[in-house]
Amino acid sequence: MKKIQSALISVFYKDGLENIVRTLAGLGVTIYSTGGTQQFIEKMGIKVVPVEELTTYPSILGGRVKTLHPSVFGGILGKRDDETHLKEMKQYHIPEIDLVIVDLYPFEETVASTTDEKAIIEKIDIGGPSMIRGAAKNHKDVAVVANKADYILLETILKDQKGETSLEQRRTFAIKAFDVCTAYDTAISNYFHHLSVTTPFNKEEKAMRYGENPHQKAVFFGNLSELFDQLNGKELSYNNLVDVDAAVQLIGEFKEITFAIIKHTNVCGVAQRAAVKDSWDAALAGDPESAFGGVLVCNGMIDKATANAINEIFFEVLIAPSFDEDALAILKSKKNRILLQLKAQPQNKEMHKSLLNGVLIQGVDEGNYTEWKETGGRETTAVEKKDLEFANLVCKHLKSNAIALVKNKQLVGKGCGQTSRIDSLRQAVEKAKQFSFDLQGAVMASDAFFPFNDCVKLGHEAGVTSFIQPGGSIRDNDSIEYCKQNNLAMVITGMRHFKH
């Protein structure tokens, strides 16, 4: 058992502290304190010794340095059964400190309440964790309480045991103290790791009406005005934002005039033509059924002719870099229709996905291919090469397993989200047939390798003459040999584009 004769108290949270202080005072314990805690105790009418009397230094650097001094840490860390320690403490007038009641600056609470990095950093406690760890280390002689949740337990011990603590009790308090420090350091580390990967969670937040479904809550972190000016329509929903992101990512791949239609993050129509109106007509023709209620995106100015054509269908969002006045007048005829003027492409370099009990972070999928390796029965023609490059980029933005069929820079069939690649191809061929496309001379892109030659066979039977895929299967040669035997072109890129 150890008798508590002196205590150092320095806490941020004062609630629950008064009974402890009165109990210690009643036991004749000398109380050392600093700052706001010292003022709190003095207002209670209880005698308290300012820490500055021990250190002979005032609180300096805006309060950053108060207790970091040998007179404080010597009193906490000094071994009571070590003659050398006791001699040095006497020599330097260092009092023994038997009880340390210290909590930590509210770092996590500050992170949760503000994005002001300066304010957050100021709430990184230095002296507090040091005193807590020192007392916990020396728990053979010193009791430490680092959480206000333990005030009632401490008060009970003080009253029942007349100011004495057992080694077992001090060890229990020490374990809790180390846990407090560990959690605190982890929170700080997590904050800085988030900053280093440019996580969005330190940006401004906007509560959504609801999430993917009405019973789900949702918040968006970020500043959309950096990317868009909203020219018309209702507030963007969670699902709108998800599709808008998919649309913007896709359109950012192309330099030539391109129009695309997005539905549930997948491309259901996309085409490149010399004029915006022609691009729209070709994109819509790819799958006019799925276009209903979609998100539209273009990298050219929306003119009156295009606006009139678009106005004939129902859609949620239209994104473009500019609109002429006549086009805006037409498109604004529906008050809820969302019109976004795209000012800049997102510059994110990482993607985040919450899963299990953590977060996955990866770099964005940049690029189209790392090599252009002609492996088929012949070289691709100039027209095929342009279509293959276009198809590969489109396929990159479809959910895996993904197949894109393209002819004359128009998506004429697509299959996505299937559990087998051959099923995605069957879906793509059926889509093309549904809207009366002739696949003779079309090209096929696959987001990942062909595990067997069945996809190449089925594609060939449908009219496809050229294929592009990343390669990497142990059976690549099966597909390559089929192309060679049937005078089909095949390009291996070396770059897979899974999208889950």
* Residues 476 and 492: beta-carbon distance below 8 Å: yes
Q: At what angle do helices 83-91 and 70-77 cross, to 10 degrees?
A: 150
137 is catalytic: yes
Measuring CA to CA, which residue among 113, 77, 71, 115 is closest to residue 95?
A: 71
Dihedral sign of CA atoms 399, 400, 401, 402 in order: positive
* Residues 412 and 426: beta-carbon distance below 8 Å: no
Partner residues linked to 358 by β-bridges: 355
| Interatomic CA distance for residues 211 and 219, integer angstroms | 8
Largest CA distance in the chain: 99
- Residue 478: what residue type? D
- Residue 348: what residue type? N
Q: pLDDT in tens for each of the 500 residues of the chain?
A: 899 999 999 998 888 899 999 999 999 999 999 888 999 999 999 999 988 888 767 766 766 666 667 878 888 888 888 889 888 888 878 888 999 999 888 888 888 888 888 888 888 888 888 889 999 999 999 999 998 888 989 999 999 999 999 999 999 999 999 988 888 888 888 888 775 444 455 566 788 888 999 999 888 888 899 999 999 999 999 999 999 999 999 999 999 999 999 999 999 999 999 999 999 999 999 999 999 999 999 999 999 999 999 999 999 999 999 999 999 999 999 999 999 999 999 888 888 888 888 888 888 888 899 899 999 999 999 999 999 999 999 999 999 999 999 999 999 999 999 999 999 999 999 999 999 999 999 999 999 999 899 999 999 999 999 999 999 999 999 999 999 999 999 999 998 999 88
Contacts (Cβ under 8 Å, ≥6 apart) of 132: 100, 102, 104, 144, 146, 177, 180, 181
- Catalytic-labelled residue, pool 148, 264, 457, 484: 264
- Catalytic-labelled residue, pool 14, 123, 137, 352: 137
Q: What is the pTM of this model?
A: 0.63
85 is catalytic: no
| Interatomic CA distance for residues 396 and 388, integer angstroms | 12
Question: Whose structure tokens read 């079309």?
Answer: 442
3-state secondary structure (DSSP) of residue 69: coil
